């Protein structure tokens, strides 16, 4: 029932030394599947062997992190969607006196859905920052340790094992893991491509027609599709849907009685001032409110992925109650709940200090990276949001296959630059890569230097990346 269809075979890097080779064999995507463990169940073996390009790259980076002083030849990570531009501001805020307050009840068991004070603060925060037409209710909020867990819980309660969920590709690839590991829910894809037409000049553009077609095909093939995932602002594309578009997608979901799982984790990371993000929570009327579930968290917009705090907003009390049961596995420390409530409450800091810097720094870093890509003659999508640029390396592939894409990824890794290839996002066209730009300038510079070098080498000597 669990499948492991994502394994890709990876040729070894000719230029690595023995030690690196060992790392490669143990951890890279495409390492031959391990021998089943006699100690694990079938499920346990599939869980152990479940890996993916995003995670593998991340592990590889952690074995050989770049550090200016201690490891200048270590890996530069422009592969993990993390924001390192405002860590200074957040650290400063989190070490202010008001954060260090411990009441006994924070150390005790409490409502697994999250403490009231936090759920109320989240409801107020979303009301203001999503510009909701009516105050939002704490009763509609569940707080969990990461959107990772929100996906996991939602898939458990709206799907049965082997049900399916529709998602446009490319998409944040970890979601696949969130749906399958515990819950054995599969994803079916609406593939977007770079192809444009006179009617639609926007590459990788999502439309209702594409959703209808994908749903119809999946259903014909026997999939029991129960939900659709919509990421807005989008990872990895950086797209922001207009409210008209989003409304159409929600109408589509309603028509087919699909739950709409809306991931707005990048909602405050729109750095282009000409673009306005419109949260689903800002809509006056939702087509199917009982099947509309919105998630957000502090991992991206508050550069706090290590804090593990996120929330789900839904009017559906059955979903809230069911997730309330599962929430015992996804609890956030009382003390952390307190800190996050303090953070979200501090509107002066958020508006006057944090968000301004957050967006400015994103804009500058984006500007730097897209300029460099232009210099490198790497085409890319110019988008207003997120931490990454979706870039087109197709011309550097010997042929347009995923094997070649992985080879190119591997070649970059040999040059100690981690970016993520399209396969990690289930993109159907080989050759696209996501480059994260939300890092400090010196690291971006070094990363792009290495990228340049890697591309130059390719032009000089194709055999580096051959098997």
Chain residues binding ligand PLP by CB under 6 A are 81, 146-148, 172, 231, 235, 263, 265, 297, 299, 305, 310
Closest CA to 190 of 175, 207, 168: 168
* Distance in Å, CB of 149 to its own copies, minimum: 5
C-alpha 312/C-alpha 323 separation (Å) is 10
Contact call for residues 74 and 67 (beta carbons, < 8 A): yes
Closest CA to 459 of 393, 390, 401, 380: 393
Structure tokens at 352: 């006057």
Q: Which does 181 bind (CB under 5 to 8 A by kind): ligand PLP, its own copies, none?
A: its own copies
**For residues 265-324, which are near its own copies according to CB under 8 A?**
290-291, 303-309, 316, 318-319, 321-322
**For residues 208-237, which are near its own copies according to CB under 8 A?**
226
C-alpha 291/C-alpha 278 separation (Å) is 19
* Distance in Å, CB of 244 to ligand PLP, minimum: 22
Structure tokens at 350: 């958020």
Cβ-count burial of 19 within 10 angstroms (0-12 exposed, 13-18 middle, 19+ buried)? exposed
- On the CB side of 299, CA atoms within 13 Å amount to 24
Give yes or no for residue 17 binding its own copies (CB under 8 A): no
Give yes or no for residue 332 binding its own copies (CB under 8 A): yes
C-alpha 67/C-alpha 88 separation (Å) is 18
- Site mask for its own copies (CB under 8 A), range 155-194, x = bound: -xxxxxx-x----------x--xx--xxx-----------
**For residues 97-136, which are near its own copies according to CB under 8 A?**
99-111
Element (H, E) at 250: helix 243-255
Nearer to its own copies, 87 or 219 (CB): 87
Q: Which residues pair with 380 in a beta bridge?
A: 391
Q: Which does 322 bind (CB under 5 to 8 A by kind): ligand PLP, its own copies, none?
A: its own copies
Structure tokens at 83: 């924001």
* Distance in Å, CB of 301 to ligand PLP, minimum: 10
**For residues 55-84, which are near its own copies according to CB under 8 A?**
58, 62, 80, 82, 84
Q: Which does 190 bind (CB under 5 to 8 A by kind): ligand PLP, its own copies, none?
A: none
Size of the site for its own copies (CB under 8 A): 81
Nearer to its own copies, 181 or 353 (CB): 181
Contact call for residues 323 and 142 (beta carbons, < 8 A): yes
């Amino acid at each position: 029932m669990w499948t492991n269809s994502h394994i890709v075979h990876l040729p070894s890097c000719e230029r690595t030394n023995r030690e690196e080779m060992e790392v490669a064999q143990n951890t890279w995507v495409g390492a031959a599947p391990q021998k089943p463990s006699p100690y694990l169940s079938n499920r346990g073996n599939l869980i152990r062997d479940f890996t993916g390009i995003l995670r593998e790259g991340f592990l590889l980076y952690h074995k050989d992190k770049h550090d200016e002083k201690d490891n200048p030849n270590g890996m530069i990570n422009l592969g993990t969607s993390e924001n390192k531009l405002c860590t200074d501001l957040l650290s400063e805020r989190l070490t202010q006196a008001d954060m260090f307050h411990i009441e006994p009840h924070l150390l005790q068991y409490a409502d697994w859905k999250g403490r009231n004070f936090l759920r109320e603060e989240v409801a107020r925060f979303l009301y203001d920052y999503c510009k909701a037409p009516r105050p939002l209710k704490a009763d509609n909020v569940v707080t969990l340790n990461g959107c990772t867990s929100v996906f996991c819980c939602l898939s458990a309660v709206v799907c049965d094992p082997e049900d399916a969920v529709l998602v446009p590709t490319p998409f944040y690839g970890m979601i696949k893991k969130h749906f399958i590991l515990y819950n054995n829910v599969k994803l079916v894809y609406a593939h977007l491509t770079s192809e444009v037409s006179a009617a639609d000049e926007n590459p990788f553009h999502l439309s209702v027609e594409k959703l209808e077609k994908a749903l119809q095909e999946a259903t014909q093939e026997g999939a029991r599709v129960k939900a659709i995932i919509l990421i807005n602002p989008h990872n990895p594309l950086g797209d922001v849907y207009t409210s008209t578009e989003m409304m159409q997608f929600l109408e589509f979901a309603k028509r087919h009685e699909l739950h709409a799982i809306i991931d707005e984790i990048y909602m405050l990371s729109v750095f282009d001032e000409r673009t306005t993000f419109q949260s689903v929570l800002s809509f006056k009327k939702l087509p199917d409110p009982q099947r509309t579930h919105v998630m957000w968290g502090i991992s991206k917009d508050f550069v706090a992925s290590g804090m593990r705090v996120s929330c789900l907003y839904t009017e559906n009390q059955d979903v809230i109650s069911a997730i309330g049961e599962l929430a015992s596995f996804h609890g956030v420390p009382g003390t952390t709940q307190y800190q996050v409530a303090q953070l979200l409450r501090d509107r002066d800091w958020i508006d006057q200090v944090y968000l301004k810097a957050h967006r400015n720094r994103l804009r500058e870093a984006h500007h730097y990276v897209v300029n460099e890509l232009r210099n490198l003659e790497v085409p890319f999508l110019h988008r207003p949001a997120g931490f990454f640029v979706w870039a087109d390396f197709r011309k550097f592939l010997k042929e347009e296959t995923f094997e070649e894409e992985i080879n190119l990824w591997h070649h970059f890794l040999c040059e100690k630059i981690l970016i993520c290839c399209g396969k990690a996002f289930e993109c159907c066209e080989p050759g696209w890569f996501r480059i994260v730009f939300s890092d400090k300038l010196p690291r971006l510079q070094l990363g792009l230097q290495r990228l340049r070098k890697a591309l130059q080498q390719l032009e000089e000597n194709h055999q580096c990346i051959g098997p």
